[in-house]
Structure 1
Amino acid sequence: MDPADSSAADSPRTALGRIVAAFDGAVVRADPRAAEVRGAIIAEPGDTLADARGALVLAIGARGADAIAVVAAAGKAGAAAVAVKCADSEEGLPELLRAAGEKAGVAVCTVPVATRWHEVEAAVRGAGERGAAGPDTRGDLYSLAQTVATLTHGVVSIEDSAHRVMAYSDSGDEADELRRRSILGRNCPEPYLALLRQWGVYVYRRVRTDELVEVEERPEMGIRRRLVIGINAGPRPLGTIWVQEGGRPLAERSAEAMRGAARLAASQLVDHYYQGDSAARLPSRADLAHGLLTGRFNSGAVAVHLGIAPSAAARVVAVDLREPHADDGDTSGADVRRAEAAEIVSVHAAAYRTNALVAQACGQIYAMLPESPRPDSGRTDSARPDSARPEGGEPDDEPVLRWAGDLVAALRRHTRTPAQAVLAGTAARLDDIPAVKLRGHHALRLLARTPDRAVDTHSRLTAPLMVRDLLELLDKHQEIRHPAVAALAARDAEHGTDLARSLLLYLDAFGDVARVARQLNVHPNTLRYRVRRAAALTGLDLDDPEHRLAAMLQLRLTCTSVGGSPFPAA
């Protein structure tokens, strides 16, 4: 294994002091330029360091003379610093190592014996991310790896086609020896690659498709069970996503999460291969998706850029985490959870529909699911429903509802929020997405009154939405009122009676006296008396449908003003 990793030269600079602070080591700076490093690589006694420019070299298994030799080799290779393990009883930096560092022109730091090398490497990466992260790093590969780890309950790494580790999730104590060596060396070890070939080249042939491949556990080698899926751009393989089973079994829907993550990772690895800037590309794609959702951009131009036919129809699913309002005005926690949720939605959406787009707006998350026209196929596949449209030509809601239900379950489980989702509808063309988005926004507001209902559709909420809009219109026109109904509510407030609410519930229940009496916990005859008394006081003719409608509308507004709800219980 070649311990040098060219990716270290491309990593952001990290102040060595921030790294050392993470593991309480002693540092000597023989050269001021050694104050910053670019990533970490490993070296064992006898290794040849071809190019370690700007890297922190982790001297694994090197003590005494071996450690001094690694320091010298690191200096020749252009390393910025070397980390060596020393016994806890040794105070400060041993004199021989100090002298070797000064001679080689590198900084030397000690690491406590009990510290694991992968923890040191994680400290390097963590310090680099804190020092170099831009305003929006949610979409990078590390964030994606962590999201997959959350959804699968596994330990995740993302590799390019040369088996170099591009990103990985936090693993704690669940990583096996293979993962630790892969992360520290930034490459899958060659002996393991040879074993994969020995076990069957079919593994890598299969990961060039959208197929999930299982690699069995090898306890005698310290290797746990793994799942792997390919990251591909058309026929070209770009890399792989590996999920190692940790301290608990992998989640049941791990395959869907990995499939979605592989599709999301493809564009970033395309940038990697062609020297692009994936950090700039992802915010751009997110911004384009937001522009498509809100109508800020020309949909035709955006569609071409995103690889979607401008004439394609698209389903829109609106999601709300139902975050409580912060009393102190600090919304940072909610922002973090919404960012995590957007990643989860993106992975689920990409698994469900190849060209899915996800954007945030109005404190909510929207998934846009373009439909690929397939005139020669009427097949509907619930697992891969890119063509979910029945013979009548109208989209079938059931596959999308099942997907949305699974998504909400995942969000509730991982974000600990009472999330809800609404199938807002289908935009016949991408131009229509903003209007459908608005329907989803309104439907989510209405769905909030039934928190136990995880998912619904705008079409099923049409009637209550219509009533709500009509009530809002009436509320703005105080001149449109029935004076006698208003007087009835005022009388209740003055005398402590309940005639107005009893009449409203009676009308809502279509005259079902027994049901309303149970709801009010009164005798049916008491309810009948209240209804007759209310009709007498107001002059309402309850046999007249117009009288009943006028009474219901105004009583909805009146009961709302005294603490009730303008809607009946759903």
Structure 2
Amino acid sequence: MNTAEQGMGEGGLQGSVVRLSDCIQLMQADLVHANPTPENLAHPVSDVLMYDPLDEWTSVDDRIILAVGLTCGSPDFDQLLHRASNSNAAAVVVKAHGAPMDRLRSAAVLHSLAVLVAPDSVDWTRLVALARASVVGAAVDSVSGVRLGDLYAFANAAASITNGAASIVDPLGRILGYSTLPGQPVDELRRVTTLSLQETTPPAFDTDFKTVYASAGAVLIPSRGEEMDRIALGVRAGGELLGTIWILDPGADKRESALEALDKMAPLAGLHMLHARSASDFGERRNGDLIRTLMDDTAHASFAAAQLGLDAANGLAVAAFSIVRSETGSLEAVREIQRLLHLVTTVCNLQFNTSHSALIDSVVYALLPCEGSTPRAAHRRLVQEIGAYSHTISSHPLIAAVGGIAPRVEDLPGSRSEALQTLQYLLHRQSAVADARAGQSPATGLFEDYRVPLNLLKIGAFIDDNGLAGLDDIVKIQAHDAEQQTDYLDTLRAYLASNGSISTMAARLHVHNNTVRYRVSRLAKDFDIDLDDPQKRLWLWLRLTTMDLAPQAKPTTQR
């Protein structure tokens, strides 16, 4: 009892009929047509079905059938082609799974049926959503000429049609695209959200978003305070909420026509958002892989740079960003690091008119060009600006660091290492307390700003790794202080920091001068330390300084 099952709702698409060639073009899903002919390309399409050989066969007239789980040559697949051809189906979509294209073409020709071959890696759920959105989108004649998935161009088209600045928002509150037409009025909320690429309040907790989600069509959202009114539309594909479109109210005289136009754009908006999501997922993974190759694999760095279109003629520098918070596994933590990636991408585009950024191992990286006579000043401005806007994406403090300039792409691992060293140092300073507190200022800087403490940390690591500390004076003083509840280590630290000045030490320790003299004399006598020996003082200073700089426990960055 074989049947064709509708995968995305009942009743078809309310009479919307387009040609198979239109659907294939709009889907852009790397489908290979096994037997294209003028007749089957012109076949009308009204719906998309998912096939289950165990269910009862129903009408498939003018439908695209997705043969989920079937392979060419199997009895179920052959039976599907036979029934689909006799029932006037528009096409059958199948995965090759190793079957030669000639074999698929022969089966299609035998049954006089269009057979579309999908990549083995394609997700069927995503494909059926794209297919159904394409069927609806092909029947919409508004907003033509915009490349599928280009939400910025689509937002400009929507803004032009509705006479109001447009923004496209996903269900997490991320701004996926916004209009840039000159002369259209905007308010402060629009300025803030387009800069941070994030809504100020998550849609799940925003009553305006809930109103839009509950509405079947475009709806007017009255303003709050000094903000402008908005009209908005929830965008869906096959019942899945893809996001919302927001238009700043063009005024009472144009409002009704704007609402009507926004309703008409809904099907095509869904198609664009589906394509943008697919492109974004692929683009982020590809960027991450290529940037990781640049920073980890010098043998293939040139290839990765060419794939990214990097101009490394003047050198490049690696910038690293993270958010300091005590717990990192929550949904909000994940959202914040994604918002950080979008903020970094946006500001890099504004500063350098290009952006190569990616989220790798809980850290957001950006490759910064080194153009002009003062590239480091431009790098400093970039991290400072991102720090200034970091409060729009998280209440937790931001840390940002830029490694040194890499003259060649093969030198980028060194710049990344310097950026991470600086980031870890800033993280240690920012996490001096057990848990990072909300409201702390961002910590940003260049590698050379912290070259001295970073080099001292390397000396400290060398001392530890080679067992040079052993049972030296510092270890003995620490043990004595812990056992006898004394403060000789603080006395020694103050002595070295003040170059032996008794009055400076007294002020630092908040005790009398005579108390300081007594403590210093006991320190020298009890531990047999000659404080007049410059080499001894140098060693004690190195030990204390590297101990104070080093984190006592490895801090946690956001994951």
Per the TM alignment, residue 314 of structure 1 is displaced from its structure 2 partner at its CA by: 0.9
Q: Map 1:231-242; keep pairs closer than 5 Å.
A: none
When residues 533 and 473 of structure 1 are mapped into structure 2, their CA distance, relative to the original with a 3 A threshold, is same
Structure 2 counterpart SS, 1:301: helix
Counterpart of 1:36 in structure 2 is 8
Whole-Å separation in 2 of the counterparts to 1:553 and 1:344? 40
Does residue 467 in structure 1 map to residue 460 in structure 2? no
User: What are the superposed Cα offsets for residues 80-127 of structure 1, whole Å, 9 maximum, x if unpaired?
Assistant: 79xxxxxxxxxxxxxxxxxxxx9x999xxxxxxxxxxxxxxxxxxxx9
Structure 1 counterpart SS, 2:353: coil
Whole-Å separation in 1 of the counterparts to 2:339 and 2:167? 8
Whole-Å separation in 2 of the counterparts to 1:462 and 1:549? 19
Counterpart of 1:337 in structure 2 is 336
Per the TM alignment, residue 494 of structure 1 is displaced from its structure 2 partner at its CA by: 3.0
User: What are the superposed Cα offsets for residues 353-374 of structure 1, whole Å, 9 maximum, x if unpaired?
Assistant: 2332112334311110123xxx
Whole-Å separation in 2 of the counterparts to 1:453 and 1:325? 18
Counterpart of 1:23 in structure 2 is none
Counterpart of 1:442 in structure 2 is 421
Counterpart of 2:356 in structure 1 is 357
When residues 129 and 50 of structure 1 are mapped into structure 2, their CA distance, relative to the original with a 3 A threshold, is closer
Counterpart of 2:496 in structure 1 is 507
Does residue 495 in structure 1 map to residue 484 in structure 2? yes
Does residue 531 in structure 1 map to residue 520 in structure 2? yes
Whole-Å separation in 2 of the counterparts to 1:457 and 1:436? 11
Counterpart of 2:68 in structure 1 is none
Structure 2 counterpart SS, 1:443: helix
Counterpart of 2:287 in structure 1 is 285
Q: Contact conserved, 1:424 with 1:458, CA < 8 A, in 2?
A: yes
Structure 1 counterpart SS, 2:354: coil
Structure 2 counterpart SS, 1:351: helix
Q: Contact conserved, 1:147 with 1:344, CA < 8 A, in 2?
A: no
The letter for the 2-side match of 1:430 is V
The letter for the 2-side match of 1:418 is P
Counterpart of 1:389 in structure 2 is 373
Whole-Å separation in 1 of the counterparts to 2:399 and 2:546? 27
Structure 1 counterpart SS, 2:401: strand
Per the TM alignment, residue 344 of structure 1 is displaced from its structure 2 partner at its CA by: 2.4
Per the TM alignment, residue 319 of structure 1 is displaced from its structure 2 partner at its CA by: 0.9
Q: Map 1:124-139; keep pairs closer than 5 Å.
A: none
Q: Contact conserved, 1:481 with 1:554, CA < 8 A, in 2?
A: no
Q: Contact conserved, 2:358 with 2:364, CA < 8 A, in 1?
A: yes
When residues 355 and 289 of structure 1 are mapped into structure 2, their CA distance, relative to the original with a 3 A threshold, is farther
Aligned length: 362
When residues 367 and 422 of structure 1 are mapped into structure 2, their CA distance, relative to the original with a 3 A threshold, is same
When residues 449 and 528 of structure 1 are mapped into structure 2, their CA distance, relative to the original with a 3 A threshold, is farther
Q: Map 1:117-128; keep pairs closer than 5 Å.
A: none
Counterpart of 1:415 in structure 2 is 394
Per the TM alignment, residue 295 of structure 1 is displaced from its structure 2 partner at its CA by: 2.6
User: What are the superposed Cα offsets for residues 214-273 of structure 1, whole Å, 9 maximum, x if unpaired?
Assistant: 999434323999xxxxxxxxxxxxxxxxxxxxxxxxxxxxxxxxxxxxxxxxxxx9x989
The letter for the 1-side match of 2:466 is H
Q: Contact conserved, 2:336 with 2:393, CA < 8 A, in 1?
A: no
Structure 1 counterpart SS, 2:381: helix
Does residue 78 in structure 1 map to residue 46 in structure 2? yes
Per the TM alignment, residue 283 of structure 1 is displaced from its structure 2 partner at its CA by: 2.5
Per the TM alignment, residue 442 of structure 1 is displaced from its structure 2 partner at its CA by: 1.1
Whole-Å separation in 2 of the counterparts to 1:322 and 1:493? 31
Q: Contact conserved, 2:219 with 2:232, CA < 8 A, in 1?
A: yes
Per the TM alignment, residue 50 of structure 1 is displaced from its structure 2 partner at its CA by: 4.8
Structure 2 counterpart SS, 1:404: helix
Structure 1 counterpart SS, 2:294: helix
Whole-Å separation in 1 of the counterparts to 2:547 and 2:335? 40
Does residue 540 in structure 1 map to residue 558 in structure 2? no
Counterpart of 2:511 in structure 1 is 522
The letter for the 1-side match of 2:305 is A
Counterpart of 1:298 in structure 2 is 300
Counterpart of 1:404 in structure 2 is 383
Query: Sequence identity, in percent?
Result: 19
User: What are the superposed Cα offsets for residues 513-556 of structure 1, whole Å, 9 maximum, x if unpaired?
Assistant: 55554443333432332223212333433343322111123345
Structure 2 counterpart SS, 1:426: coil
Q: Contact conserved, 2:231 with 2:249, CA < 8 A, in 1?
A: no
The letter for the 2-side match of 1:221 is K
Whole-Å separation in 2 of the counterparts to 1:561 and 1:425? 22
The letter for the 1-side match of 2:318 is V
When residues 223 and 520 of structure 1 are mapped into structure 2, their CA distance, relative to the original with a 3 A threshold, is farther
When residues 492 and 156 of structure 1 are mapped into structure 2, their CA distance, relative to the original with a 3 A threshold, is closer
Whole-Å separation in 2 of the counterparts to 1:332 and 1:130? 27
The runs of 5 or more residues in structure 1 that have no matched partner are: 1-30, 56-75, 82-101, 107-126, 134-139, 162-167, 186-213, 226-268, 372-386, 566-570
Whole-Å separation in 2 of the counterparts to 1:475 and 1:331? 36
Whole-Å separation in 1 of the counterparts to 2:333 and 2:424? 18
The letter for the 2-side match of 1:366 is Y
Q: Map 1:16-55; keep pairs closer than 5 Å.
A: 33-36=5-8, 49-51=16-18
**Deviates most, 455-464 or 412-421:** 412-421
Whole-Å separation in 2 of the counterparts to 1:355 and 1:179? 32
User: What are the superposed Cα offsets for residues 185-218 of structure 1, whole Å, 9 maximum, x if unpaired?
Assistant: 9xxxxxxxxxxxxxxxxxxxxxxxxxxxx99943
Whole-Å separation in 2 of the counterparts to 1:459 and 1:224? 58
Structure ranking higher on relative contact order (CA contacts 8 Å, 6+ apart): 2
Q: Contact conserved, 1:514 with 1:524, CA < 8 A, in 2?
A: yes
User: What are the superposed Cα offsets for residues 127-157 of structure 1, whole Å, 9 maximum, x if unpaired?
Assistant: 9779979xxxxxx87799999869xx99765
The runs of 5 or more residues in structure 2 that have no matched partner are: 24-43, 50-58, 64-123, 131-148, 156-165, 182-197, 213-217, 221-229, 238-246, 259-271, 431-440, 555-559
When residues 223 and 564 of structure 1 are mapped into structure 2, their CA distance, relative to the original with a 3 A threshold, is same
User: What are the superposed Cα offsets for residues 312-334 of structure 1, whole Å, 9 maximum, x if unpaired?
Assistant: 411221112123256xxx56654
Whole-Å separation in 1 of the counterparts to 2:443 and 2:295? 23
Per the TM alignment, residue 351 of structure 1 is displaced from its structure 2 partner at its CA by: 2.4
The letter for the 1-side match of 2:487 is D
Q: TM-score, normalised by structure 1?
A: 0.51
Structure 1 counterpart SS, 2:403: strand
When residues 504 and 414 of structure 1 are mapped into structure 2, their CA distance, relative to the original with a 3 A threshold, is same
Per the TM alignment, residue 310 of structure 1 is displaced from its structure 2 partner at its CA by: 4.6
Counterpart of 1:431 in structure 2 is 410
Q: TM-score, normalised by structure 2?
A: 0.52
When residues 526 and 278 of structure 1 are mapped into structure 2, their CA distance, relative to the original with a 3 A threshold, is closer
> Over aligned residues, Cα RMSD in angstroms?
5.3
Whole-Å separation in 2 of the counterparts to 1:562 and 1:181? 50
Per the TM alignment, residue 435 of structure 1 is displaced from its structure 2 partner at its CA by: 0.8
